[in-house]
Chain A
Amino acid sequence: MADHPLPEPEVAREWLETMLRIRRFEERAGEQYARAKIGGFLHLAIGEEATIVGSTRALRASDYLIGTYRTHGHTLARGSEPGRVMAELFGRVDGLCRGRGGSMHMFDLERRFLGGYGIVGGNLPIAAGFALAHDYLRTEDVTLCQFGDGASNQGTFGETMNLAALWNLPVVFMVTNNRFGMGTALERHSAQTDLQRKGEGYGVPGMECDGMDVVDTFRVTTEAVRIAREERRPVLVEALTYRFRGHSMADPEEYRTKEEVEEYRRRDPIVTFGDRLVAEGVVSAEERAAMDAEATRIADEAVAFADASPAPEPTSLYDDVYVLGGEVQGWYSVDERGAGVRRGEDIG
């Protein structure tokens, strides 16, 4: 690949460091899933770290990010505490969402990461709604909306592209093309496999980046974000990437060969970027090893934090279904009509 110049050394180091922290965190999460500490589905983004870090680093802290059910790394890249992310996976009270969302539904308002969403394509209209709010409130904010290649086949994709272009909304759509919609290969699920072109007919121009290269992903996303912010119009970026692990932990991977996975693993975005930083004298081999060890330590600490965090109180079951009080009176939930405490009302 044609290498684009590296950013400032401290920036390059931070990118490598963040990618390593995401990788080690997710590896630990996979182990904890195997030990049944984590329930439900666990979708790992191992292999996609350059896409995550390169794209989110193109945002200001005040910009908004919205993703899918594969967003542990996005929370970490935005600065969420690893312990709270792991605690969410564990279904504990200190989780980002107090154990209500789990792996597929991460959220950190403070860091303007507005959600992992479990329904494929469900987050696109919501992202356009954020961008509508930026426009309405006349802020400089931009929303970056990430979704997978599979989501580009949903009705919401076309509907949202059309509306975002029609209303000139400051939103960057990023299709993270990891070549599979769950177990169905790209060429078997999309007639147009050049996904950056799928917005063209709606008036949303496309761009492409090497999602295995953090530098290229940053470069292209930066330009897309600039267009959204300054020219007030949407852009679709296709990040070409690959996930090394199954769709979820419950995936026998019968739809692809070991050789294909191996070939992509040779392009591991963390290894290649680390090699480059060493080769160009940005980090020493020792610094790189220390960075990795620190990433492992943080992941272990996150596991310990999650393990120590208590499960949510049963009495909190009805919390936050409704905003209670104010001008709205009366009964909200049918099963709160029993004798005794009206659960959920005592937080009003």
Chain B
Amino acid sequence: MATLRYREALNQALREEMTRDERVFLMGEDIGVFNGAYKVTQGLLDEFGEQRVRDTPISENTIVGMGVGAAMLGLRPVVELMTINFSLLALDQVVNHAAHIRYMFGGQVTVPLVIRMPQGAGHQLGPTHSHSFEAIYLHVPGILVAVPSTPADAKGLLKAAIRDENPVVFIEHEYLYGQRGEVPDEDDHVVPFGKAAIRREGADVTIVGISRMAVTAEKAAVQLAEQHEIDAEVIDPRTLRPLDLDTILASVRKTNRCVIVEEGWPHGGVGANLAALIQEQAFDDLDAPIGRVTGADVPMPYAKNLEQIAFPHEPQVVEAVRAACGDL
């Protein structure tokens, strides 16, 4: 096992896939000469040249659309959008084109495109630069959605995404880029889509954490054990489409309680969707309403104190779990 930062793990995945398959190439804003806004593509221009590491103008919709076209003709484009906030400008190409082309043309072509982008709040970037949008992409049939929370998953899932024949929205997290973790040394560390990770085993309650919130949930679980004698099981779905609902249901059937933690807004959120799925499948196993901890239902404020209370931290998770366990 090597200890790597999340951004280094992603960089390894890109390098290994570009080495393995000449059809893989990168396009995005400031990914080449600048080495990436978050340094994920550090060194790749020098190593692979301008044909395969392409700096683009600031034209999100067209960058993604060109990725769609290149993928339809057999290439494996990996498009980086500087942040998920700007992906709204590309939503037409993601939804009307990347997601629908295979279906609406009767299966004649595939679109093996990966769109990478980070999300998340916490850097005082205000309303337009602090979004978490996994719920928007989860909503759309035809694309896969990955939300890796560890360096090992970042690497393994990105390699799987590049090899997949489906278009993949690959959601990284700004906070996680600098986080370290163990990454398997094996030559070809691939993490399959649709397989959740149980981060911590527990008997009393299931906490499902999405993206960065899987990390927050794990920290909250330690507090719950140490301070409240609550033994929480923490699940990180890792991909939202496909969703490993079976692992989540098995856990809920064991613990009979569930709290879902996400950074995005509450209405129409990932937790809202997951709560519906769980109650449909495991209603009789639930001893308490499913709890949700979400971002506040407001545009993200700039002021540090306001921003910090506008997205979940460990105390909110602890409180929601204690409520679900009747401990309050």
B75 touches A133 (CB 8 A): yes
Which residue of B has the minimal Cβ distance to A130? B69
- Residues on A with C-beta less than 8 A from B75 are 132-133, 136-137
What is the bound-complex CA distance between A159 and B93, given in angstroms? 13
Q: Is A343 an interface residue (CB 8 A)?
A: no
Q: Which A residues are closer than 8 A to B by beta carbons? A: 64, 95-101, 105, 107-109, 114-115, 117-119, 122, 124-134, 136-137, 155-156, 159-160, 162-163, 166-167, 319-323, 326-334, 337
Q: Is B194 an interface residue (CB 8 A)?
A: yes
Q: How far is the CB of A300 from chain B (nearest CB, A)?
A: 25
Q: Which of B100-108, B116-124, B199-207, B307-315 contacts A (4 or more CB under 8 A)?
A: B100-108
Q: Given B108, B163, B277, which contacts A107 in the complex, CB threshold below 8 Å?
A: B108
Q: How far is the CB of B202 from chain A (nearest CB, A)?
A: 23
A328 touches B144 (CB 8 A): yes
- Residues on B with C-beta less than 8 A from A327 are 160, 163-164, 190, 192-193
Knowing A124-B65, A136-B25, A323-B102 are in contact, say whether A159-B160 is a contact too (CB < 8 A): no
B56 touches A320 (CB 8 A): no
Binary flags per residue of B160-194, CB closer than 8 Å to A gives 1, else 0: 10011110000000000000000000000010111
Q: Is B275 an interface residue (CB 8 A)?
A: no
Among B69, B166, B242, B280, chain A packs the most CB atoms within 10 A around the CB of: B69
Which residues of chain B (253-293) have a CB below 8 Å from chain A? 273, 277, 280-281
What is the bound-complex CA distance between A109 and B163, given in angstroms? 22
Knowing A105-B104, A163-B57, A337-B277 are in contact, say whether A126-B194 is a contact too (CB < 8 A): no
Q: Is B67 an interface residue (CB 8 A)?
A: yes
Which 3 A-B residue pairings sit nearest by Cβ, starting from the closest?
A129-B69, A330-B194, A125-B65
B70 touches A124 (CB 8 A): no
A133 touches B102 (CB 8 A): no
Knowing A118-B96, A136-B75 are in contact, say whether A128-B65 is a contact too (CB < 8 A): yes
What is the bound-complex CA distance between A322 and B160, given in angstroms? 15
Which residue of B has the minimal Cβ distance to A347? B107
Q: Is B295 an interface residue (CB 8 A)?
A: no
Which residues of chain B (66-85) have a CB below 8 Å from chain A? 66-75, 77
Among A122, A327, A330, chain B packs the most CB atoms within 10 A around the CB of: A330
